[in-house]
Amino acid sequence: MKKILETIRSFFSSLASRFKRQPGDQQAVQSESAASTPHPKGRTDRFTVISWTVTLILVASLLGSTILYKNAITTPVVSPSQAVSESGDGPPVSVVPANGSKDGSNYILRDLQLKTRIPERPRYQALTYRVSRGDGMWAVADKFKLKSETILYVNKDLDDNPHSLKPGMELTIPPVDGLYYEWKAGDTFETVAEEFNASVDDIINFPGNDIDLTDPKVIPGALVMIPGGSRELRNWEADLVTVSRGNDGSTGTSDFGSNACGGGAVASGFGWPADDHTLSGNPYGPGHLGIDINAPEGSNVYAAGSGVITMAQGGWNYGYGNVIQIDHGNGYVTVYAHLSQINVGVCQSVGQGTLIGLSGNTGNSFGAHLHFEIRIGGKNVNPYDIVQ
């Protein structure tokens, strides 16, 4: 500010010197004035007074403008105690004007978020997923919020068998649960919906099908998504015949591939057939009528209940690999598959918890685990409802 004042003063001083008369022109006049009218002592120069007056006016104007400008700007002040957390889930932040009143009447409250939340948009087209080592059918389906049977419906290479999943395989992942259907000449929305237990409206209104709602029709050969549709899956478990100990009237177990073992121990309850009680792959459900228990290669496999060994067979066995069956004498038969080692023989009587083999990766298996089934009268039931 001092520098500005000095500049202004110098400007007006130079301006004043211009209005002064030249020394040669004023010499006579100054002599006459001096003779006739004496110059008052201490008289202030007129131009100096004008320059200082104008300077003070300019300074006052600048200061006033600065004050008005600052009062017109609202500076947000955020209290440290009201800072938003890094996750963006913290409390709302109060943004306070610099001139706000202490009672908060002039405060402006805003919700500030450090992260932008983009809502997940619905997907209407299929995508491709490459299977990695460690993936299981249930895990892949859960990743895309689908049912495991939907993956089986859509991917024919799996042949309705979750154990056909292999690393490097490329899966088609539909946008919603259901299946794809290639439209044929003569098909109607009603006949297709009835065939796959679906809704006509769901088929027509699904955006991915691009059906004109004013004139709904599908060209033969087009691939149409059937939302919520389903079909029968091949029951691979039925290929492995349930083998009983023999229908001698003492066991109550039906003969499906009877083995003339006769009587033996009868189970009074069922426990877990492995040390680990968690799943490593597929749970019980459509296309997988057993559970895959976490059991690294060579882990102990136990008899889930007392009974008689009716099958202890190595080989492929319809994808089961090395497999054991136990008839428990009360209508139940248990199956233990993909074993690396079999420690028992046919017609051997075992108690609950007896070591019958070691877990492995034989047959149609995607990583070492124990595939465990419980059958009643030759039909599979969920082991989770039986074991304790």
Residue 184 is predicted with a pLDDT of 96
Beta bridge partners of 335: 325, 373
Burial readout 58-79 (b: 16 or more C-beta within 10 A, e: otherwise): eeeeeeeeeeeeeeeeeeeeee
Instruction: Tell me which residue of 287, 301, 272 sits closest to 368, measured CA to CA.
Output: 301
Q: Where are the domains of the chain?
A: 1-23+46-61, 127-227, 236-385
Residue 1: count other Cβ atoms within 10 Å of its Cβ: 8
For tokens 């028992």, the residue is: 344
Check if the beta carbon of residue 304 is closer than 8 Å to that of residue 362. no
**Who's near 49: CB < 8 A, 6+ residues apart?**
none
Instruction: Tell me which residue of 43, 39, 45 sits closest to 12, measured CA to CA.
Output: 45
Phi, psi of 25 (to 5 degrees): -75, -25
Residues of the chain with pLDDT under 50: 21-42, 77-101, 248-255
What is the distance between the alpha carbons of residues 367 and 365, in angstroms, rounded to a whole number? 6
In whole angstroms, how far apart are CA 9 and each of 18, 66, 87, 370?
Answer: 15, 22, 60, 99
Helix axes 46-72, 2-19, angle to 10 degrees: 150
Residue 106 is predicted with a pLDDT of 56
- Token pair for 12: 């007006």
Check if the beta carbon of residue 202 is closer than 8 Å to that of residue 227. yes
Check if the beta carbon of residue 144 is closer than 8 Å to that of residue 178. no
Residue 238 is predicted with a pLDDT of 82
What is the distance between the alpha carbons of residues 173 and 116, in angstroms, rounded to a whole number? 28
In whole angstroms, how far apart are CA 62 and each of 48, 52, 67, 355?
Answer: 21, 15, 9, 97
What is the distance between the alpha carbons of residues 273 and 300, in angstroms, rounded to a whole number? 8
pTM flag (> 0.75)? no
Residue 136 is predicted with a pLDDT of 80
**Topology at the third CATH level for domain 127-227:** Membrane-bound Lytic Murein Transglycosylase D; Chain A (3.10.350)
Residue 371 is predicted with a pLDDT of 95
What is the dotted CATH code of the domain comprising 236-385?
Answer: 2.70.70.10
